[in-house]
Amino acid sequence: MLVYLRLLSESFSFAMNALRNNKLRTLLSLLGVTIGIFSIIAVLAAVDSLDQKIKKELSSLDKNTIYLFNGSFGPSEVPRWKRDQFPNVTYTEYEYLKTSLPDAQELAFQIFLSWETVKYEEKSVSNVNVVPVSYEFIDIQGLEFTDGRFYNESESNSGAAVTVIGHELANSLFENIDPIGKEIRLYGQCFTVIGVLKKQGAGMFGDDDTSAFIPVNFIRRMYGDNNGSMTPVIVIKPEKGIDMEAFKADLKQKLRTFRGVKTGEIDNFFVNVFSGFTDLIDGVIGFMNLGGWVIAGFSLLVGGFGVANIMFVSVKERTNLIGIQKSLGAKNRFILFQFLFEAVILCLIGGLIGIFLVWIIAITLTKLLDFEFVLSLSNIMLGSGLAIIIGLIAGILPAISASKLDPVEAIRSGM
């Protein structure tokens, strides 16, 4: 055991001497390993950070939540021209389904609109995400407040001019003033602020911090139900523990009957279950991981050849020393492990440099952006493991060639 510890120490010493004595050659050889490890760990860390953020955003939502409208979350077998002919869901259908779906815990009616400008006295904020939605939305989305409340059933049904605004929107319009009870201008009319949401940060489904929630019936009263610029959606939260396939079948049948869709005709709507969307996201994340591996694979391949090259040169330069070691009784495996350890240590140094660069970039991006870039311990271990594997693969042939040298010929060639 002590022999191999000494061997490891000597190999580390040889590796550091190679770095000091042949700086440019070693730097160019390790550059491929460093770039390869940097690429794969950077991609994996970025994807893991994105995946963590998405899961955090989705944690408040039930994966069985259904979005019923004339569009599909993912690819569809229905041709595009036919989908374009599907009618929008209506408020009447929302009211009908509320009374005819006993296994539905909550239903909400929402309209997707273009961004608007919101004003308070002399201040204005553009590109505000206006969310017209019925009062049940708070029980589906799980919104949290720093102050105030969400509008109630009466305010929702009457289309009252009240609004709930996001944290950043409140800061931009009111700064240190209490927003509750103040009036903002939207769509040329005054809305009373009744609630302010907790800060959540930008997400893939929009930014609630810069959003304004208003009763959906206000928009219906202003624009009607047949405006081409609006996309209405019925959001359904089923009871927990129910058979989702049976629930979806019941939902489809009731809406087909309500719309008068004949037997044999396809559904003219889409039942989008939120879990299907999360599966789609998982697929995209998996594809991004695969892309990262492919890109980094080329760098690792080049880096492996570079390390193999420097190890062959190292064997050539130390042929005389190898002959002396073998003449003094050094076994073949001692010489083999000596060069193999050296290759591993060189690659490990390159890998650690790559991981260190990812760590520096992660800290910098986390401070500059509203996004937590996470470099996990598993990714650090993965990067170190890959560096060791590259060292083993790149160093095995030079190490074997060194271990098989004839001691007499090796000493003679170095004289």
Based on the domain organization, do 354 and 295 belong to the same domain? yes
Based on the domain organization, do 215 and 340 belong to the same domain? no
Based on the domain organization, do 50 and 163 belong to the same domain? no
Based on the domain organization, do 228 and 124 belong to the same domain? yes
Better pLDDT: 19 or 177 = 177
Based on the domain organization, do 50 and 122 belong to the same domain? no
Residue ranges making up the domain that contains 408? 2-57+280-413
Which one of 268, 295, 321 terminates a domain?
268
Phi/psi at 324 (5° precision): -65, -45
Asked if residue 68 belongs to a domain, the reply is: no
Instruction: Give the tens place of pLDDT for each residue, 208-229.
Output: 778 899 999 999 988 887 777 7
Burial 356-366, CB ≥16 within 10 A → b, else e: ebbeebbeeee
Based on the domain organization, do 207 and 331 belong to the same domain? no
Asked if residue 64 belongs to a domain, the reply is: no
Q: Minimal CA–CA distance to 347: which of 7, 78, 11?
A: 11
Asked if residue 24 belongs to a domain, the reply is: yes
Total domains in the chain come to: 2
Instruction: Give the tens place of pLDDT for each residue, 389-404.
Output: 888 888 788 778 777 7
Asked if residue 101 belongs to a domain, the reply is: yes
Mean pLDDT of 248-259: 90
Instruction: Give pTM, 2 decimals.
Output: 0.62
C-alpha span between 366 and 360 (Å, rounded): 10
Per-residue pLDDT at 142: 78
Asked if residue 77 belongs to a domain, the reply is: no
Based on the domain organization, do 92 and 232 belong to the same domain? yes
- Residue 239: how many CB atoms within 10 A of its CB? 13
Based on the domain organization, do 205 and 295 belong to the same domain? no
C-alpha span between 101 and 271 (Å, rounded): 14
Based on the domain organization, do 214 and 363 belong to the same domain? no
